Chain A
Amino acid sequence: MKNSPKKTHKTPVTASKNGKTGFRLPILPVLSIMFVLTYIWAAWYYADVLRMARERSFWVMSPDQMNFLLSKEFGGLWYIGRMLLQLFRYPWLGGLALSAMITLGTWCLGYAMRLSPRWRWLQYIPAGAYMMYIAYEGINLFFENEGGMIMGIPFCILLILLIWTALIASFSRKRMPALVCPPKDETRWQNWGQMLMLLVIFGIQAAWTELQRPYTRVIAKENVCLINSDWKGVMDVARANAGISHRPIAAMYAIALVETEQIADRMYDIRLDYDSLYLHGQSGEHSLSLCLYQEDCDYYAGFVQTCMHHAIERITMIGPNIHSLELLAKCSILRNENEAAYKYLRILQDVPFEGDFVRKYMAYVGDSAMIADDPEMAMIRKLEPIHDSFENNYQQPTFMGYNLALVEGRSKNALYNSLACCIYTKVMPAFMMRTEPLQGQTPPENVSDALCLMANKDPGIMKRFTGLDLRYTILSGRIAEMKPYMKDRQKYAKELFPKFKGYYPYYYFFGNLKATRKNNDTASSSAGVN
């Protein structure tokens, strides 16, 4: 009688053929491992992305308020999906729910499909496909995407599989495979084949994210730091990923610098060349990333009314979302529109886990002392425009265009913002005009470097400011270093970045060279008077 391999490999450690004892691969509880790996993926590796998907989504119990969603095809499913997505307010909680759904779904699939141990590796494919979809979409998960899909699809599949499993279990005597314990009906090779499948799925997913969408986690992480007003966190993330250059990363980094009063000192610590993003709107066509950060930039640059404009347009286009509603509440408070502030906070009150935000800002409504004491709002007050004008009068986006044309500001911070915008856009005549109030002083680092650059054409500049002499000496040496690469700036820009990181003249000659390229992409809906 021949020995069946199944019988010889049932225990983790058995004697080898020649009688010597040695290490044998154990039979693993692959589904449990899958649960842990999925949990790590959802609650740590992709946590910020899923958290942001939640922040750009909206769910309340009331079907009336959710009619914008329920009246769509599959609206009911997306409603449930959005409800579950709310758990990602705390990624450990959302991760737990998602990994439980995925693991349970995988187990049900194996049972319902009556997969023999030999073919059991197939049961991991749907979970893998789902995770690949998440990785493929990247930042689209929180840009004009139906957030309900993230949790709604696994929920729907799980529900179908559970019903299917229950039906089969009712009519079949087949034993259910192990969910938590090591399976008893698998050979070592079959067991490790499944393990290999898992590793391949997670490996491909991570590799794809790191190689093809390296910006996804960076942008999401910065966004989460922004929500928490963790300016150091925003800067640390941006600087740690200084070579990854995308507009949303730069925008949030700039916001953090404005908030910490370093906008005229440290802007060029990250590369500002802006590689392309995989971003599509509701139409499926390529979209500009502006909508990802426009409202935030409006708000933190002091354009409260413009922020309201763009926040309402976001709500118009994608429906209510937590992020825009929070901004609208804060803007209304700043504009003393107390009833409107109450309205937005009241709506947010019904969103799970928004209690802290609502409690905090409800106290601000109509209380100018609290507004003045809030560091974030106090900074915005310093930056607000003094005079009215139209957004349309300025180069877009307004938070840049207005600062390029700033004539009068409320504070030194407003002046620094303006100077930072001028040197960023390399509009040097406008920059020089706006340096007048700093004459006789030592300007911030980036401004000093820009002045030194201009001093090449107008040596008189050196006498009008203090602290430029040493910088000018350094500039001469560094210009000499850059000179050989000037013939093809586009080609050498990335290569030179590590060497000249943080140095404005490098940016002046090699940075953001594509900025002048006209982008023909349009907004995602027709515009006009409604």
Chain B
Amino acid sequence: MRRLLYYFLILATTACTKSHDVPSQYTDVNEQAPIYPDYRDIVIPQNIAPLNFMVKDAKGLVAVFEGTGGHCLTVSGEDRIDIDSAEWRNLLTAGKGADIKVTVYADIDGWKRYAPHTLTVAEPIDSYLSYRLIEPGYELYRQLGLYQRNLENFTQRVIYENNRAYENDNNHCINCHNFQNYDTGHMLFHVRAQHGGTIIIDGDKCKKIQIKSPDILAAGVYPTWHPKMNLVAFSTNKTGQVFHIYHKEKLEVVDEASDLILYDVDRNEVRNIIAGPDFETFPCWNPAGDKLYFCSAHVKQMDNVPDSMAAEVISHYYDSVYYDLKYMTFDQKSMKFGKPEMLIQASASHKSISVPRLSPDGRYILFTLGDYGQFHIWHKSSDLWVMDLDTDSVYALREANSPDVDSYHTWSSNGRWIVFASRRMDGNYTRAFIAYFDKNGKAHKAFCMPQRDPEYNILLLKSYNVPELTKNAVNVSPGDLRECIYETSGDTARFTGNIKRSVDGSTGASRQLDGKTGASPKNGN
């Protein structure tokens, strides 16, 4: 009865009546409205913030949202619409699992009615998206921060911002934020330069640690938090950067060397997982925590190259470095890893894989495929691909991809949404895009994270970097993090040697991008 009353109230408040805002005279146009951002024919989460949009050069704008059961919402504005949050929420609640028809009227040299588009309301997405805001690429940094956006509205809160004013003693960069199982209870990020270290957040407490040892290649870089244990696998990379003077790509970030390490948070101990001549990077645990996926490249030209020459040599061969996707089993009791096994041999197709991410049900691996290298966030060739571990099929998410960069993706905790960074809007600045991933393993058209002002992304001179979904908000205050970063130097993790491998002798079949299977190449690790 109460539910019926509730639906009645919604119906009463949103029932479609002809609004006085809708122009009485207009010309029908046989194409969809040129709205910005592009929210046409997309699948949206039930709990997403209002999808405000604009039509450039319009002198008047009216949008009529027609849901199921006669629910209707009419919004008007000059060249943009600002949808009332409560009315939008009612519309989506009533339209769950169904389509909302959107008809746009715009006054551009007279009123026009455009062909309608649809919004399909699907399952909810995790409420919070964390990201770093930073100027795109290049070498220098100044003001940057980690932020958390509530996707249900437009609230963005600061997780941590570095020093706002230039201070020699305090200038620091922050990067590589990561969470355990979509829960902000366990989080980490790195601080570089002044006050450097890795910040580990446990509930509402935080501490700084130093993952340094002469026995590991460099400090921890790309992290992945074990889903069940208090362990973090990191890649450790020696990284350089070079700038194109004419290429369509603007820069290259290349590794001269990289390994994998395992950090035990409770014991403050670190050890090598793989340390050798091959380049391993972007580790990622599966949801069961018994496999570690990672990218690996063997660069022949780097064999026997002394460290002093490594940067120069790799910069000559940067576009012939191809990363394959591999994995290792992990025994949670003995803490031993199995032998590296080839999963996708992208190098055989002269392609390269980066940033593998397992879906929460463990069925799909989502990764970025590009023409070469591992820093695909600056490669226009990079696209999102998945491997279905049940069927062994590997395919591109064509509907979600764009001709420009698509990378740094994350799954929602229900596995129905992926959020990723894309430069598709202007080729330079990454923006967070959301795409629906249906039960059949198909991705749908991606749309830009909504903003109150539809022009926000045009006016913003920073990139959205490494979007990560979480179910809850970060508990630690920026003040506490600041105190931890500024006031503590951090304990140095104890190096406990190389990890011994369990001997299972398996040499699993690997998948190539063309669907062929191939034997795993011998791996010196």
A residues in contact (CB < 8 Å) with B: 62, 64-65, 68, 71-73, 281-283, 285, 303, 305-306, 308-309, 312-313, 315-320, 337, 339-340, 342-343, 346-347, 350, 384-393, 398, 402, 523-530
Task: Identify the 7 closest CB pairs spanning chains A and B, nearest first.
Answer: A282-B166, A339-B426, A527-B139, A388-B247, A316-B135, A390-B242, A388-B246
- Asked if residues A283 and B166 are in contact (CB atoms below 8 Å), the reply is yes
The distance in angstroms between the C-alpha atoms of A62 and B455, with both chains bound, is 12
Report A-chain residues with C-beta under 8 Å of the C-beta of B124.
Answer: none
**Residues B458 and A525 in contact, CB atoms below 8 Å apart:** no
What chain B residues lie within 8 Å of A306 (beta carbons)?
A: 243, 245
Q: Mark B214-247, 1 if CB is under 8 A from A, else 0.
A: 0000000000000000000000000111111111
Nearest A residue to B139 via CB reads A527
Chain A residues near B459 (CB-CB < 8 A)? 62, 64-65, 346-347, 350
Interface size on B, residues (CB 8 A): 45
B458 A346 Cβ-Cβ under 8 A: yes
CB-CB nearest in chain A for B253: A529
Bound CA span A523–B173, Å: 16
Selected from A347, A387, A392, A530, the residue in CB contact (under 8 A) with B175 is A530
- The answer to whether A312 and B247 touch across the interface, beta carbons within 8 angstroms, is no
Does B134 count as interface, using CB distance less than 8 angstroms?
Answer: yes
Q: In the complex, A71→B158 CA distance in Å?
A: 12
A106 to B426, CA, bound (A): 50
Instruction: Determine whether the beta carbon of B141 is less than 8 Å from that of A530.
Output: yes
A-B pairs with beta carbons under 8 Å apart, 30 shown: A65-B459, A73-B164, A73-B165, A282-B166, A283-B168, A285-B168, A303-B245, A305-B246, A305-B250, A306-B243, A309-B243, A312-B137, A316-B141, A318-B142, A337-B428, A339-B427, A340-B426, A387-B246, A388-B245, A389-B246, A390-B242, A390-B244, A390-B245, A523-B140, A525-B141, A526-B171, A529-B139, A530-B134, A530-B138, A530-B139
**Which of A309, A384, A388, A524 contacts B138, CB < 8 Å?**
A309
Specify which chain A residues have a CB less than 8 angstroms from the CB of B362 in the assembled complex. none
Residue B461 is within 8 A (CB to CB) of chain A in the complex: yes
Instruction: Name the contact of A391 in the complex, choosing from B166, B243, B455, B461 (C-beta under 8 A).
Output: B243
Interface string of B284-328 (1 = CB under 8 A from A): 000000000000000000000000000000010000000000000
Q: Which chain B positions have C-beta within 8 A of A342?
A: 426, 458
Task: State whether A337 and B427 are in contact (beta carbons under 8 Å apart), knowing that A316-B135, A347-B459, A387-B246 are contacts in the complex.
Answer: yes
Q: Let me know if B241 and A529 touch, CB within 8 A.
A: yes
Residues in A with CB closer than 8 Å to B250 are 305, 308-309
Quick check: B164 and A72 within 8 Å, CB to CB?
yes
Residue of A nearest to B237 (CB): A529
A312/B135 in contact, CB under 8 A: yes
Q: Which residues of B contact A528 (CB under 8 A)?
A: 139, 173, 192, 239, 241
- Chain A residues contacting B427 (CB-CB under 8 Å) are 337, 339-340
A305 near B139: Cβ-Cβ < 8 Å: no
Q: In the complex the two chains form, what is the Cα distance from A328 to B164 in whole Å?
A: 24
B457-493 near A? 1/0 per residue, CB < 8 Å? 0110100000000000000000000000000000000
In Å, the complex CA distance between A347 and B460 comes to 9
Contact status of A305 and B428, CB under 8 A, knowing A71-B164, A73-B165: no
Query: How close is B215's CB to chain A, nearest CB, in angstroms?
Result: 23
Taken together as a complex, chains A and B put the C-alpha atoms of A410 and B141 apart, in Å, by 35
**Which residue in chain A gives the minimum CB-CB distance to B167?**
A283
Cβ–Cβ < 8 Å partners of B141 in chain A? 316, 525, 530
Using known A-B contacts A306-B245, A309-B250, determine if residue A527 contacts B165 with beta carbons closer than 8 Å.
no
Given the complex of chains A and B, what is the CA–CA distance between A321 and B349 in angstroms?
45
Instruction: Determine which of B136, B140, B164, B458 lies in contact with A527 in the assembled complex, contact meaning CB atoms within 8 Å.
Output: B140
Residues of chain A within 8 A of B461, CB atoms compared: 315, 320, 347
B143 sits at the interface (CB 8 A): yes
Residues in B whose Cβ lies below 8 Å from that of A282? 165-166
Chain B residues with Cβ below 8 Å from A308 are 250
Interface check B98, CB cutoff 8 A: no
Chain B residue numbers with a CB within 8 Å of A281 are 166
* B9 on interface, CB distance cutoff 8 Å: no
Q: Is the CB of A337 within 8 A of B245?
A: no
Chain B residues contacting A319 (CB-CB under 8 Å) are 142-143
CB distance from A233 to the nearest CB of B (A): 30
Q: Which residues of B contact A343 (CB under 8 A)?
A: 426, 428-429, 458
For the complex, what is the distance from the CA of A468 to the CA of B168, rounded to whole Å? 55
Interface string of B188-216 (1 = CB under 8 A from A): 00001100000000000000000000000
B242 touches A391 (CB 8 A): yes
Once bound together, how far apart are the Cα atoms of A62 and B452, in whole Å? Answer: 14
- The smallest beta-carbon distance between A526 and chain B, in angstroms, is 5
Interchain CA distance A283-B163 in the complex, whole Å = 13
Contacts of B253 in A (CB 8 A): 529
In the complex the two chains form, is B247's CB within 8 Å of A525's CB? no
Q: Is B509 at the interface (CB under 8 A from chain A)?
A: no
User: Complex Cα distance A441/B135, Å?
Assistant: 49
Q: B15 on the interface (CB 8 Å rule)?
A: no
In the complex, besides A68-B143, A528-B173, A528-B192, 20 extra interface pairs with C-beta distance below 8 angstroms are A64-B459, A71-B161, A73-B164, A285-B168, A305-B245, A309-B243, A312-B137, A315-B461, A316-B140, A317-B142, A340-B426, A343-B429, A346-B458, A385-B246, A391-B245, A393-B315, A526-B193, A529-B253, A530-B137, A530-B144
Known: A343-B458, A530-B134. A385 touches B140 (CB 8 A): no
B426: A residues at CB distance < 8 A: 337, 339-340, 342-343
Q: Would you call B396 an interface residue if the criterion is a C-beta within 8 Å of the partner chain's C-beta atoms?
A: no
Docked complex Cα distance between A73 and B143 (Å): 14
Flag if A390 contacts B243 (CB, 8 Å).
Answer: yes
Of all chain B residues, the one with the shortest Cβ separation from A346 is: B458
Contacts of B265 in A (CB 8 A): none
> With an 8 A cutoff between CB atoms, is B11 at the interface?
no
Using Cβ atoms and an 8 Å threshold, which residues of chain B touch A385?
A: 245-246
Point out the residues of chain B lying under 8 angstroms from A312, CB to CB.
135-138
Q: Which residues of A contact B240 (CB under 8 A)?
A: 529
Residue B425 CB within 8 A of the other chain: yes
- A527-B315 Cα distance, complex, nearest whole Å: 18
Q: Which residues of A contact B315 (CB under 8 A)?
A: 390, 392-393
- Minimum distance in angstroms from B219 CB to a CB of chain A: 12
Instruction: Give the chain A neighbours of B244 by CB distance below 8 A.
Output: 305, 388-391
CB within 8 Å of A: which B422-470 residues: 425-429, 455-456, 458-459, 461
